[in-house]
Structure 1
Amino acid sequence: MVALRVPTLVKRTPSSDAHGSIGFFLVRLLSGPLSWAIATQVNYVLVPWQCAHQVPVVLPLALTLTLLSLVGGALSWRARRLHGASGRKQNTERFIADLGMGTALLFALVILMQASAALIVDGCLR
């Protein structure tokens, strides 16, 4: 049996796979801010339900969204370790990875600070 080699028209580079696509860049970069926005909005929506049912949902939600933010930071850290491109493109990818790690950590801390208020102040007090 003879294997045929079919030439490809598009040369695959490490940055052209799923880890270098624009969607993956956005996931890594925006995981922190989106987690914070979801946490903020859902916390406001869930307070009346939490008071009526006496079920604490703010803290588990905050911890889950903090973890989601940190996953985006871990993906950025992993992307920073992989040096697929060269020259100027590598510098851009490294900058986006650094920015993704920074925003993920910053917004994870913000989500935790907002959740810590739920430990101190009861949201059902009026």
Structure 2
Amino acid sequence: MSSLLTRGLPSAGLYAGPMAWLVSTQANYALAAWSCSYQFPVIPLLAAVLAAVSLAGGVSSWRAYRQPLPADTTTVPAPDGSQVATLDGPEGGRPHRMIAAIGVLVALLFAVVIAVHGVAGLVFTGCER
């Protein structure tokens, strides 16, 4: 488990960002009446926590992206028949770096969307009809 924290998980940003946004959207609708009743801005607080969850997934993807490619001597056949492509390169069938880069960008995008929802929670009280 600690190796996943240090090495990162390439697809963590792909899952953490959208799931945090899903929870944020559903909680915003569910907590609007509660926020109006108790006059407590729970939506911006929840948005801050869920934006941090999305960014944590992005950090995990970033760590996976920054990992150096291991010196692997295993090769696969290239299109011309030679044995030059390693399994860790994109041409070797394991595009971890590309998935990690997309995970970072997706996590950032969803963190911004969640933050915008949180700012809207500061402007609107939930009592508007």
Residue type of the partner of 1:87? Answer: G
How do 1:45-84 and structure 2 match up within 5 A? 45-84=30-69
Kindly state the Cα deviation for residue 28 of structure 1 after the two structures are TM-superposed: 3.3
Relative distance call for 1:83 and 1:76 in structure 2 (3 A) is same
Name which structure has the greater RCO, CA cutoff 8 Å, separation 6+: 2
Q: Write out the 4+ residue segments of structure 1 that deviate beyond 6 Å after TM superposition.
A: none
Mark the runs of 5 or more structure 1 residues left unpaired by the alignment. Answer: 1-16
Q: Specify the alignment match of 1:87 in structure 2.
A: 89
One-letter amino acid of the structure 1 residue matched with residue 116 of structure 2: M
Are 1:121 and 2:124 an aligned pair? yes
Tell me the equivalent position of 2:81.
none
Q: Hey, which of these two has a bigger chunk of strand by percent? A: 2
Instruction: Report what 1:9 is aligned to.
Output: none
- The size of the alignment, in residue pairs, is 106
1:27 aligned onto 2:30 = no
Q: 1:36 to 1:110 in 2, by over 3 A?
A: same
The SS at the match of 1:122 is: coil
Q: Secondary structure at the match of 1:72?
A: helix
Q: What TM-score does the superposition give when structure 2 sets the normalisation length? A: 0.73
| Matches of 1:92 and 1:65, distance apart in 2 | 28
Displacement of 1:84 after TM fit? Answer: 4.2
- RMSD value over aligned CA atoms? 2.1
Aligned residue in 2 for 1:112: 115
